[in-house]
């Protein structure tokens, strides 16, 4: 694993172009498995999770090609329905392949994804819905899971919670199911809409993404040559905007969807940042670095404040004037990174799913450890603000969701470098 060394205290300013969304490209790559042809995806982010997904597709028999942000996947000749355990373990979200492989091959063998730093992350909703569609789920020994179905049946599914992954898995499984599948209480994230658009480009009939009720009309086969452009990454955009809000300075982000980051911008405005939205996907932020505390932020499913921005906003609030309260309603254990923020001098107390952040005058550089993707991003923001040098280990977690983070931040004035340990 490499480390990031940050000399904090600089104001940042400049332009950042937002890459394609990790949480959009992963389900779309899973969906390429449905296509008995070649899919071309543009604006794909260069991330470790994308490389892992391409390794999984190749292990299933796909021919994949990656050239910069363009990816080609030829899934016309699948040779396996077993997702290699070593790859599935490397990326928890490999479970979103389940529905696509089951629909295309009639069975799938995958290792049960373990929990991670932010929670248990069970897949009961995924499996219950697939069983409702006629699949047989066999929890084999040694943590392997076998799901099989000669022909899935379209049906009405009601999710207990608008799970992003469960919604995506059911959408994929429903593409070749008999008749119509209706998902009630579906996730409304923009990444769901991007998946719907890609499936419709392949000739499947999917409607309702973003409304909470999604309908998928099953078809017999997909033989298409779609060219699909991945939507911008709203969490990467929010992360860099939060970083400049915290350090003070001015940032122009380009290639962003304003509506996708509306709740993030709302919170940053409440801290006192000046934010403007221009046509053509340009948003600007000005900050003097002296931020207001926020009496209450609660994370919730889209279009609420995203859980994937919770660590970054907590980090930003560690130096705000006053006491802030952040409630994490989506994952049961997503405050572990605050132990690392406390090493930098942050004053945070955790009570269950609530974090109470008392603003301090300054943070002081220290050695800290990233243990998950967004917690790692929070440590970068704190390091950029702290006086002195901060050494962040576990940068592999951060590379899963942020393209060349030290290059992007150096270009806007941050004193940050990567060292291999
Ligand atoms: C997706 O994870 C994202 N990952 C996560 O982003 C994001 O935090 C999450 O959605 C919520 O927005 C990808 O898209 C690859 P969920 P997912 O199913 O699908 C519980 C990041 O940092 N649940 O919406 O796994 C679950 O435990 C990552 O980019 C069940 O109980 O999230 C959680 O508490 C982190 N049973 C809640 O629902 C189930 O069967 C929301 O999970 C499924 C989920």
Pocket of ligand 1 contains residue 122 by CB under 6 Å: yes
Does 284 lie in the same domain as 220?
no
This prediction has a pTM of: 0.98
Does 181 lie in the same domain as 106?
yes
d(CA 108, CA 101): 6
Neighbour-count burial of 225, counting CB atoms closer than 10 A to its CB (0-12 exposed, 13-18 middle, 19+ buried): exposed
Q: Give the bridge partners for 99, in sequence order.
A: none
The pLDDT score that the predictor gives to residue 113 is 81
Q: How confident is the model at residue 216 (pLDDT cuts 50, 70, 90)?
A: very high
Q: Is the pLDDT reported for residue 25 higher than 80?
A: yes
Does 344 lie in the same domain as 377?
yes
Mean pLDDT of 391-396: 97
Please check whether residue 320 is in contact with residue 272, taking contact to mean a CB–CB distance below 8 angstroms. Answer: no
Last residue of a domain, one of 182, 208, 229: 229
Does 102 lie in the same domain as 47?
yes
Q: Work out the number of other CB atoms within 10 angstroms of the CB of residue 398.
A: 23
Among 121, 169, 194, the mutation site with the greatest number of ligand 1 atoms within 8 A of its Cβ is 121
Q: Is the pLDDT reported for residue 143 higher than 90?
A: no
Mean pLDDT of 69-96: 93
Mean pLDDT of 325-335: 97
Mean pLDDT of 219-227: 95
Does 118 lie in the same domain as 58?
yes
Does 387 lie in the same domain as 323?
yes
Per cent of the chain over pLDDT 90 is 94
Q: Which of 116, 175, 267, 273 is catalytic?
A: 116
The pLDDT score that the predictor gives to residue 298 is 98
Q: What is the number of domains present in the chain? A: 2
Whether 116 is a known active-site residue: answer yes
Q: Is the pLDDT reported for residue 340 higher than 90?
A: yes
Q: How confident is the model at residue 236 (pLDDT cuts 50, 70, 90)?
A: very high
The pLDDT score that the predictor gives to residue 159 is 98
CA-nearest residue for atom 27, ligand 1, is 121
Q: How confident is the model at residue 90 (pLDDT cuts 50, 70, 90)?
A: confident
Q: Is the pLDDT reported for residue 63 higher than 90?
A: yes
Q: How far is CA 32 from CA 38, 58, 134, 244, 274, in A?
A: 8, 12, 23, 37, 41
The pLDDT score that the predictor gives to residue 117 is 86
Does 349 lie in the same domain as 247?
yes
* For helices 373-385 and 234-247, angle between their N-to-C axes, nearest 10 degrees: 20
Mean pLDDT of 366-387: 98
**What separation in Å is there between the alpha carbon of 93 and the centre of ligand 1?**
9
Residue 251: how many CA atoms within 13 Å on its side-chain side? Answer: 32
The pLDDT score that the predictor gives to residue 99 is 97
SS3 102: helix
Q: How confident is the model at residue 120 (pLDDT cuts 50, 70, 90)?
A: confident
Does 328 lie in the same domain as 311?
yes
d(CA 323, CA 359): 6
Last residue of a domain, one of 163, 194, 229: 229
Q: How confident is the model at residue 95 (pLDDT cuts 50, 70, 90)?
A: very high
Last residue of a domain, one of 229, 252, 279: 229
Pocket of ligand 1 contains residue 47 by CB under 6 Å: no
Pocket of ligand 1 contains residue 23 by CB under 6 Å: yes
What is the CATH number for 399?
A: 3.65.10.10
Pocket of ligand 1 contains residue 125 by CB under 6 Å: yes
Please check whether residue 317 is in contact with residue 359, taking contact to mean a CB–CB distance below 8 angstroms. Answer: yes
Q: Is the pLDDT reported for residue 67 higher than 80?
A: yes
Among 164, 233, 310, 328, the mutation site with the greatest number of ligand 1 atoms within 8 A of its Cβ is 164
Does 31 lie in the same domain as 14?
no
Q: Is the pLDDT reported for residue 346 higher than 80?
A: yes
d(CA 218, CA 97): 18
The per-residue pLDDT of the chain, averaged, comes to 96
Which domain covers residue 110, as residue numbers? 22-229
Q: What share of the chain is helix, strand, coil (3-state, %, to 5)?
A: 35, 30, 35
The pLDDT score that the predictor gives to residue 245 is 98
Q: Could you report the per-residue pLDDT of 152-184, keeping only the tens digit for each?
A: 999 999 999 999 999 999 999 999 999 999 999
Q: Is the pLDDT reported for residue 91 higher than 90?
A: no
CA-nearest residue for atom 10, ligand 1, is 164
The pLDDT score that the predictor gives to residue 112 is 84
The pLDDT score that the predictor gives to residue 199 is 98
CA-nearest residue for atom 13, ligand 1, is 23
Does 219 lie in the same domain as 136?
yes
Does 165 lie in the same domain as 112?
yes
Q: Which residue has the tokens 């932010």?
A: 118
Q: How confident is the model at residue 123 (pLDDT cuts 50, 70, 90)?
A: very high
Does 239 lie in the same domain as 217?
no
Q: Return the minimum-mean-pLDDT range out of 109-113, 235-239, 264-268, 312-316.
A: 109-113
Q: Could you report the per-residue pLDDT of 240-292, keeping only the tens digit for each?
A: 999 999 999 999 999 999 999 999 999 999 999 999 999 999 999 999 999 99
Q: Could you report the per-residue pLDDT of 189-213, keeping only the tens digit for each?
A: 999 999 999 999 999 999 999 999 9
Atom of ligand 1 nearest to the CA of 187: 24
The pLDDT score that the predictor gives to residue 27 is 98
């Amino acid at each position: 694993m490499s480390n990031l060394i940050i000399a904090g205290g600089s104001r940042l300013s400049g332009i950042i172009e937002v890459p394609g969304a990790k949480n959009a490209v992963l389900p779309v790559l899973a969906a390429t498995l449905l296509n008995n042809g070649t899919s071309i995806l543009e604006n794909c982010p260069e991330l470790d999770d994308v490389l892992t997904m391409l390794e999984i597709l190749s292990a299933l028999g796909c021919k994949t090609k990656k050239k910069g942000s363009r990816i080609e996947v030829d899934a016309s000749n699948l040779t396996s329905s077993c997702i290699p355990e070593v790859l599935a373990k490397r990326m928890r979200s490999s479970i979103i392949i389940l529905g696509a492989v089951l629909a295309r091959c009639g069975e799938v063998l995958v290792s049960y994804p373990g929990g991670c730093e932010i929670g248990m992350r069970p897949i009961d909703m995924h499996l219950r819905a697939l069983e409702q569609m006629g699949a047989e789920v066999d929890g084999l020994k040694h943590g392997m899971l076998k799901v099989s179905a000669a022909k899935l049946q379209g049906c009405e599914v009601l999710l207990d919670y608008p799970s992003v992954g469960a919604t995506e898995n059911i959408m994929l499984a429903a593409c070749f199911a008999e008749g119509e599948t209706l998902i009630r209480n579906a996730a409304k994230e923009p990444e769901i809409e991007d998946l719907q658009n890609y499936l419709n480009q392949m000739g499947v009939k999917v409607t309702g993404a973003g409304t909470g009720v999604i309908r998928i009309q099953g078809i017999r086969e997909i033989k298409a040559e779609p060219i699909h452009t991945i939507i911008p990454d709203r969490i990467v955009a929010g992360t860099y905007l939060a970083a400049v809000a915290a350090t003070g300075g001015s940032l122009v982000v380009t290639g962003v969807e304003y509506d996708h980051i509306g709740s993030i911008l709302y919170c940053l405005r409440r801290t006192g940042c000046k934010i403007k939205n221009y046509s053509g996907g340009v948003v600007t932020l000005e900050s003097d670095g002296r931020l207001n505390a926020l009496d209450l932020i609660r994370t919730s499913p889209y279009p609420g404040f995203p859980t994937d921005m919770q660590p970054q906003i907590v980090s930003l609030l560690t130096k705000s004037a006053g006491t802030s309260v952040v409630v994490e309603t989506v994952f049961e254990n997503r405050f572990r990174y605050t132990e690392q923020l406390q090493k930098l001098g942050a004053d945070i107390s955790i009570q269950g799913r609530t974090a109470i952040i008392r603003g301090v005058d300054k943070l002081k550089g220290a050695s800290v450890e990233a243990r998950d993707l967004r917690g790692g991003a929070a440590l970068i923001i704190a390091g950029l603000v702290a006086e002195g040098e901060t050494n962040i280990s576990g940068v592999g977690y951060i590379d899963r969701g942020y393209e060349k983070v030290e290059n992007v931040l150096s270009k806007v004035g941050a004193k940050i470098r990567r060292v291999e340990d």
